[in-house]
Amino acid sequence: MKIGFIGLGIMGKPMAKNLLKAGYDLTVCAANRAAPELVAAGAKSAPNAEIGETCDLVLTMLPNSPQVKSVMLGQDGVAAHMKPGAVFIDMSSINPVASKEIAAVLAEKGIEMLDAPVSGGEPKAIDGTLSFMVGGKPEVFDAYKPVLEAMGSSVVRCGDVGAGNTTKLANQIIVACNIRALAEAMTLAQKAGVDPQLVFEAIKGGLAGSTVMNAKAPMMIAGNDKPGFKIDLHIKDLNNALDCAHSVGAPVPMTASVQEVLQWLHNNGCGQDDHSAIAKYYEHLTGIQIGR
């Protein structure tokens, strides 16, 4: 099986490397600046059109719906060069409505699609333990699950096309609200004269403990804003969540509230910081830095 990979950013590059480690025949987008590094690791490189012509499976890991639509369905897009029977797996986090639209166009060409967004950020992309939330036909999922397992430790089919991205939106709501709650709680501790590091150590094993806390509390305490997942990308995901919620009539007041905090951070020069920089919002309000 020949696999094409388009989108070699913070997440895509280590994911592509894990496919190479698993022994897959991989071709990456030649236009990406990370392509030479992947070629050095054993991949081939080619223009998008050639990826469509020569690969049995095309993977994308792109920022949002417009980019996925442009790459796949735009003028001279990849889909125009794919053969009937080929498969497209979009690992980007996009609006589920867009996933369904893309799938419908591809179906007319005899191309199957899975939407398979991921959770776990850069560290889990590097070590191959991402969580995949997948939408698509059961038989297509079963056939290509091993490919996703080369990049992740959890691969779950959530329903038909669009269900993967709906699940990812739910994930992003939970993550954003947890990070904000963590920043708020650590700010309270420090304002009350209690060491946030000790608070973290005391509660991480209890009911409040979570993967989010374990990943983000040390970053907040150290003042480490190096992006594993950027604020601007989380804003994009929550915009999609709000759009989806409005279209189906789901109440999401907490999502709207945390989105306002993230937007304030974007407007104040923090859009490229890790989403744990929500702590900076509380620093702005209180004048203190968590753990320092």
pLDDT tens-place string over residues 40-85: 999 999 999 999 999 999 999 999 999 999 999 999 999 999 999 9
- Closest by CA to 19, choosing from 57, 50, 46, 51, is 57
pLDDT winner (highest mean) among 120-129, 146-155, 227-236: 146-155
| List of domains in the chain | 2-160 (3.40.50.720), 166-286 (1.10.1040.10)
From the candidates 17, 168, 216, 280, give the one annotated as an active-site residue: 168
* Alpha-carbon separation of residue 51 from 34, 70, 90, 117, 216 (angstroms): 16, 15, 15, 21, 38
Rounded to whole angstroms, the Cα distance separating 12 from 72 reads 17
- H or E segment and range at residue 89: strand 87-90
* Alpha-carbon separation of residue 185 from 151, 180, 182, 274 (angstroms): 34, 9, 5, 18
Structure confidence by residue, pLDDT tens digits, 107-135? 999 999 999 999 988 999 999 999 999 99
**Confidence class of residue 292 from pLDDT cuts 50, 70 and 90?**
confident
What integer pLDDT is reported at residue 46 of this predicted model?
97
**Confidence class of residue 192 from pLDDT cuts 50, 70 and 90?**
very high
**At residue 154, does pLDDT exceed 90?**
yes
Rounded to whole angstroms, the Cα distance separating 113 from 126 reads 25
pTM: predicted TM-score of the whole model, two decimal places: 0.90
- Closest by CA to 64, choosing from 91, 88, 27, is 91
What integer pLDDT is reported at residue 228 of this predicted model?
85
**At residue 250, does pLDDT exceed 90?**
yes
What integer pLDDT is reported at residue 44 of this predicted model?
97
Instruction: Give backbone dihedrals phi and psi of 181, rounded to 5 degrees, phi first.
Output: -60, -40
Instruction: Give backbone dihedrals phi and psi of 189, rounded to 5 degrees, phi first.
Output: -60, -45
Query: Average pLDDT for residues 136-148, to the nearest whole number?
Result: 98
Answer yes or no: 21 catalytic: no
**Confidence class of residue 202 from pLDDT cuts 50, 70 and 90?**
very high
Q: What is the mean pLDDT of the chain?
A: 97
